[in-house]
Amino acid sequence: MWTKGKCIISIGEDKADGVGIFFRTHDIVIIRRRDIIPGRLLMIDCLYQGDKYRIINVYTAPEARKKTKLFKRLRELLMVGYKVILSGDFNTVTAENDRCSTAPFRLTTQGKHLKLINEEAKLIDTCRSINPFGLEFTR
């Protein structure tokens, strides 16, 4: 059990579905919580030290149809007038240096969609900013 701060968890219908947002402090005021797609797309609006944030955690299904549905919902959530933190497992490659394969790189429809969403919302990939040339991903 998480005791270091607040935590918000969303569990889906499938046993593999589940996302959470964990804080190392109790000094967070949760304004709104929405399980957009239970276990796959969780959003909270909160206040921390006088600033308002929207925090979104994603666990994208591997199926193209489900990814497309989630990305459409995600785009709507990013259009707010305050700070956004987006994290999660997108199961989608948007750049050649984000994969490890001998096969030629091909940007999928879902990859194009996610890349466009990031550009429109002016999101910064902090991992890529810290490691601009490294292969950095989780398995």
Confidence of residue 139 (pLDDT cuts 50, 70, 90): very low
Sheet holding 51-59, edge to edge: 29-37, 41-48, 51-59, 83-89
- What pLDDT sits at residue 127? 78
Q: Find the helix packing angle between 64-78 and 109-120, rounded to 10°.
A: 10
Is pLDDT above 70 for 65?
yes
Q: What is the pLDDT of residue 135?
A: 67
* Closest residue by Cα to residue 84 from 93, 76, 96, 95: 76
pLDDT at 14 over 90: no
Where exactly are the structural domains of the chain?
7-125
Architecture of domain 7-125: 4-Layer Sandwich (3.60)
The pLDDT assigned to 43 comes to 98
